[in-house]
Amino acid sequence: MTEPTTTPGRRTDAPRAARGTPAPGTGTPGAGAPDAGAPDAGAPDAGTPGGFAGAVACEWTKLWSVRSPYLCLLAGLAITGVFTFYYASIARINDHPVEPVGNAAASSAVLAQFAVVILATVAVTSEYATGSVRASLLWVPRRHRVQAAKALVVAVVSFTAGVVYAVVGTAVAWGAFGGRASFDAGTTLRQALSVGLYLALVAALTVGTAFATRHPAGALAILVTLLWGLPSVLLGVGGPELAAVNDCLPHGAGDHFMRSGVEAPYAPVAAMLIVVAWAAVAHLAGLYVLRRRDA
């Protein structure tokens, strides 16, 4: 049996078929030719959202893929229930003047806010700890989009949690007040939405701070000092000058637009804008570090 020979200088049809060139005498492409109706393996799935919507969907999936958000939100709910019961009981025992029942839930934000602070801090710094932030930045190369998507997702979750906290806290406080509180549907609804808005802004403030520090200890140290430590010192020492400084801090301003029936140095809208300004400054600081430093 002899092996087939080829004439020097001539090419067989096998390479042609491998390149997808139609073989002589046939109208069909070779084995290597791509099917015109088949999707390109390198092309993105047409059903997958891209741009900012895709970044938001990615951050939403990452947030709920671990247990920490659930634990943080449940802890915040428990803190709200305990604090509002304590607040209303003290008002009843000491015969405080009648006040809107929603003030109990608004006052509980001084502690409940740290549930969303921890949630937002972990959402950012855990990616730096595990190195998964590199994959996030490869998937969404525009870094401002990554930060904005994460801030939006955490803020929406915190807003919803804040409204739920306020509703539950108001229900708990109503029974504990024992007649030392008033109820107005419009005022109570506004206060519930205000608590949600405040927690959403605190979450955005936390995301910016966490991107700036890239470490949970550093972020929490800054936020605990800003949201609780410094206001406690200013109000504890007392004096109109220190009280005015506290009114310019995030929780000092937030307390003015969450509570109702109390004297405030400025309108609720101005108080909300102060908290927005703090969140914006933190967001810009985090974006600066995110753009300047490698992951």
- Angle between the 185-213 and 216-224 helix axes, to the nearest 10 degrees? 140
The CA distances from residue 156 to 102, 136, 160, 234, 272, in Å, are 22, 20, 6, 31, 17
Q: Which residues pair with 100 in a beta bridge?
A: 182
At which residue do the structure tokens 């109503």 appear?
A: 174
Q: Which H or E element spans position 88?
A: helix 68-93
Question: Tens place of pLDDT for every residue, the chain, 295 residues?
Answer: 444 444 444 444 444 434 444 444 444 444 444 444 444 444 444 455 678 999 999 999 999 999 999 999 999 999 999 999 999 999 999 999 999 999 999 999 999 999 999 999 999 999 999 988 888 888 888 899 999 999 999 999 999 999 999 999 999 999 999 999 999 999 999 999 999 999 999 999 999 999 999 999 999 999 999 999 999 999 999 899 999 999 999 999 999 999 998 889 999 999 999 999 999 999 999 999 999 987 6
Total-model pTM: 0.82
Question: What single-letter amino acid sits at 108?
Answer: S
For residue 246, what are the contacts with CB-CB under 8 A and spacing of at least 6?
Answer: 230, 231, 234, 235, 252
